[in-house]
Amino acid sequence: MAEFILMKGNEAIAISAIRNGCDGYFGYPITPQSEVMETLMVERPWETTGMVVLQAESETSSINMLYGGASCGKKVMTSSSSPGLSLMCEGLSYLAGAELPCVVVNVVRGGPGLGTIQPGQGDYFQACKGGGHGDYKMVVLAPNSAQEMYDFVDLGFDLAFKYLTPVMILADGVVGQMMEKVELRPVKPRWSDQEIKQNFKWATTGKTPDRKQNVLTSLALDAAVHERLNHKLQSKYKQMEKEDVRFESYMCEDADHIIVAYGCMARICENTVELARNEGIKLGLLRPITLYPFPTVEIQRLVPQLKSIMSVELSAGQMVEDVRLAVNGKIPVNFFGRLGGIVPSPHEVYEAFKKEINKL
């Protein structure tokens, strides 16, 4: 029988890490995600699965600890919130450049600067457009429930090792803090040293006489070599766009209009769809689950039947740019967002939506 536990989204991340064979968690406290490391420290997984948990001296350090652990072929992760992620951007760029797998959770709060500890979605650009320097992308998963916080740790590791890339779980303060029932999936054991050696020939497991040394670096001073490395990264991103776009459609089949929203805003906009449907307006909801790769093709598929699209975000309008790129001017793309940590109600979104469609 399935086992359900009531827990916070942040706690689900921690429990999932332990149960999904994570080898190491390295983090630094920051609101609203400190429960992740707190839960791990209470659970003491080093006594059960052997998972290492360490509080680093900064986010800069924790992301670089991931570089070290990932280089050894280990399943390593960290979590933080917006200002902490800014510090990690250097490390993410290096991880992407050296093609190292890891999972990074951002429980987004309001910004810029120290901003607020209330929820936000203003880190979309940072997550989806690089954040750090250079031409790189990460798979970005956007959970909208405690269950998805739990599930995306495992999915995140799968994708990180499939593509040898950092994967970001882009949550928000609401999803991190809210308590819901979470189904505990079957336990996955940690990989043995033997499995790692066999499966990850690139890892720094110690140079043996039967192979050349493994060097994990993002440096290539030879222009031709460096261009090849960049093309290799780009081809991975193309593959992600082909194979790993994830989204959820809610009442889009007959829709005249759709809202595009992710994370906590998708939960709220489900109710907005109900409100519209009750008044006879055919509104649907498209929830991108992967923010990168973005469900561009699905939006393009829906465009011919639609009169308008509205992107709803806890930001000044970031994902809306990707929606507009997908739509390419064919129909109006509107935007509604709140800032400062204010989370709008379904009614508020509905009023904003009606105001826009009345202009059509």
Partner 1 sequence: MPTTMELKDIIKPENMVYSKSPVLTNNVMHYCPGCSHGTVHKLIAEVIEEMGIQEKTIGISPVGCSVFAYNYIDIDWQQAAHGRAPALATATKRLCPDKYVFTYQGDGDLASIGTAEIIHACNRGENIVVIFINNAIYGMTGGQMAPTTLLGMKTSTSPYGRTEELHGKPLKITDLIAQLEGTCYVTRQSVQSAVASRKTKRAIRKAFENSALNKGTSFVEVVSACNSGWKLSPVKSNEWMVENMFPSYPIGDLKDR
74 scored as a contact of partner 1 (CB under 8 A): yes
User: Between residues 206 and 340, which has the closer beta carbon with respect to partner 1?
Assistant: 206
Report in angstroms the alpha-carbon separations of 94 from 64, 102, 123, 213, 354.
9, 12, 19, 20, 45
326 scored as a contact of partner 1 (CB under 8 A): no
134 scored as a contact of partner 1 (CB under 8 A): no
Which sign does the torsion angle of CA 8, 9, 14, 20 carry? positive
86 scored as a contact of partner 1 (CB under 8 A): no
- Measured CA to CA, the distance from residue 108 to residue 122 in angstroms comes to 8
Q: Smallest distance from the beta carbon of 218 to partner 1, in angstroms?
A: 7
- Measured CA to CA, the distance from residue 324 to residue 307 in angstroms comes to 14
Name the nearest CA neighbour of 334 among 301, 308, 354, 297. 308
26 scored as a contact of partner 1 (CB under 8 A): yes
One of 20, 34, 62, 116 touching partner 1 (CB under 8 A): 62
194 scored as a contact of partner 1 (CB under 8 A): no
Candidate segments 3-11, 72-80, 104-112, 224-232, binder of partner 1 by CB under 8 A: 72-80
198 scored as a contact of partner 1 (CB under 8 A): no
Q: Smallest distance from the beta carbon of 56 to partner 1, in angstroms?
A: 7
Count other Cβ atoms within 10 Å, centred on residue 253: 10
User: Between residues 218 and 271, which has the closer beta carbon with respect to partner 1?
Assistant: 218
- Measured CA to CA, the distance from residue 290 to residue 248 in angstroms comes to 10
218 scored as a contact of partner 1 (CB under 8 A): yes
Candidate segments 4-12, 87-95, 120-128, 350-358, binder of partner 1 by CB under 8 A: 87-95
83 scored as a contact of partner 1 (CB under 8 A): no
One of 10, 205, 272, 308 touching partner 1 (CB under 8 A): 205
Near partner 1 in 294-313, by CB under 8 A: none
User: Between residues 187 and 215, which has the closer beta carbon with respect to partner 1?
Assistant: 215
- Non-local (6+) Cβ contacts of 146 within 8 A are 7, 8, 9, 11, 12, 175, 178, 179, 180, 181, 182
- Measured CA to CA, the distance from residue 211 to residue 213 in angstroms comes to 7
Spell out the SS3 assignment of 116-159: CCCECCCCHHHHHCCCCCCCCCCEEECCCCHHHHHHHHHHHHHH
Question: Which element (helix H / strand E) includes 334?
Answer: strand 333-337
Candidate segments 6-14, 199-207, 248-256, 291-299, binder of partner 1 by CB under 8 A: 199-207
Candidate segments 66-74, 180-188, 251-259, 273-281, binder of partner 1 by CB under 8 A: 66-74
Task: Yes or no: say if 70 and 100 are a contact pair by the CB < 8 Å rule.
Answer: yes
One of 12, 15, 66, 259 touching partner 1 (CB under 8 A): 66
58 scored as a contact of partner 1 (CB under 8 A): yes
Tell me, residue by residue from 4 to 23, as one string, x for binding to partner 1 by CB under 8 A and - for no binding. Answer: -------------------x
152 scored as a contact of partner 1 (CB under 8 A): no
Q: Smallest distance from the beta carbon of 206 to partner 1, in angstroms?
A: 5
Task: Yes or no: say if 7 and 19 are a contact pair by the CB < 8 Å rule.
Answer: no
Here the tokens at position 346 are 């379904």
Question: Which element (helix H / strand E) includes 299?
Answer: helix 296-302
68 scored as a contact of partner 1 (CB under 8 A): yes
Name the nearest CA neighbour of 218 among 166, 161, 158, 287. 166
206 scored as a contact of partner 1 (CB under 8 A): yes
- Measured CA to CA, the distance from residue 7 to residue 5 in angstroms comes to 6
Q: Which residues bind partner 1 (CB under 8 A)?
A: 23-24, 26, 52, 54, 56-58, 60-62, 64-69, 71-72, 74, 76, 90-91, 94, 98, 204-209, 213-219
